[in-house]
Amino acid sequence: MFLFRDHGAAFATNAVVGSMLGIFATIAWALSYSAVAQRGAGLALSVAAGLVSFAVLGTAMRELTAAPLVLYLALVIALIVGIRAIPASLTHDDVRLPSWDLPARMILATVLVLTITNAAVLLGPRLAGLLATVPLYASILAGFGHTLAGPRAAIDVWRGLLFGLFGFGAFYLMLALFLEPIGLAAFALAVAAALITQLVTLRVLRS
């Protein structure tokens, strides 16, 4: 929304496509983190593996040109493959997060938005959109799980994130299709699509 306000619909739409491509990089982060953590690696090495995978795939895909609907269909396939690659946990440990967890995530998100918005012209729309998908929240939650309850808890966080990315992708799909023709009203469609998709995936996850 900030990019739309500051740089126009075409710039923002290009950034949206960058964010859709960034979801593929996020899947790579989740898979790499989980694979390394499953082998008994510590938090730092698991995060490093995820970050490297995100950077490599994000860089490789940044300039990819494809229709938004094609991108979303490819995303759905990639998510299904990713979810199947991470085994479901039969038991779930109770992880009590510290009181400063939520404020820390709010501060990180605000810093990320301000940084990307202010550097958008320098970064370009694709890179700005891609960087907006860096999974800070999931990394914090997985980090707490990894530290307090072991790698299995962290892997469960990443598997849950993959289920959530169906709705995340649906949000960006609506923006990619409708931001230029109808402007800010596209955000209402995007939120509705995300909520509906999240409800469906939540039912699947619970089953």
| Domain presence at residue 138 | yes
- Please say if the pLDDT value at position 49 is more than 90: yes
pLDDT value for 90? 64
Cα separations in angstroms, 36 against 43, 79, 127, 156, 178: 9, 19, 27, 14, 39
The reply to whether 91 falls in a domain is no
% of the chain surpassing 70 pLDDT: 97
Residue 207 lies in a domain: no
More confident residue, 107 or 70: 70
In terms of Cα–Cα distance, which of 164, 194, 137 is closest to 83?
164
pLDDT of residue 13: 93
Q: How many domains does the chain have?
A: 1
Could you report the per-residue pLDDT of 92-122, keeping only the tens digit for each? 666 677 787 788 878 888 888 888 888 888 8
Let me know if residue 113 belongs to a domain: yes
The per-residue pLDDT for 78 is: 96
Q: Is the pLDDT of residue 156 over 80?
A: yes
Alpha-carbon radius of gyration of the chain = 17
The DSSP code for 98 is: -
Quick check: is 171 in a domain?
no
Checking if the pLDDT of 83 tops 90, the result is yes
pLDDT-based confidence at residue 148 (cuts at 50, 70, 90):
confident
Cα–Cα dist 118/114, whole Å? 6
pLDDT the model gives residue 42:
87
Please tell me the distance from the alpha carbon of residue 26 to that of residue 199, in angstroms, as a whole number: 21
- Tell me whether residue 12 is in a domain: yes
Structure confidence at residue 19 (pLDDT): 92
- Residue 64: pLDDT band by 50, 70, 90 thresholds? confident
Domain that holds residue 29: 2-86+99-165
pTM score above 0.85? yes
Q: Is residue 181 part of a domain?
A: no
Two structure tokens written together for 11: 């710039």
Residue 206 maps to a domain: no
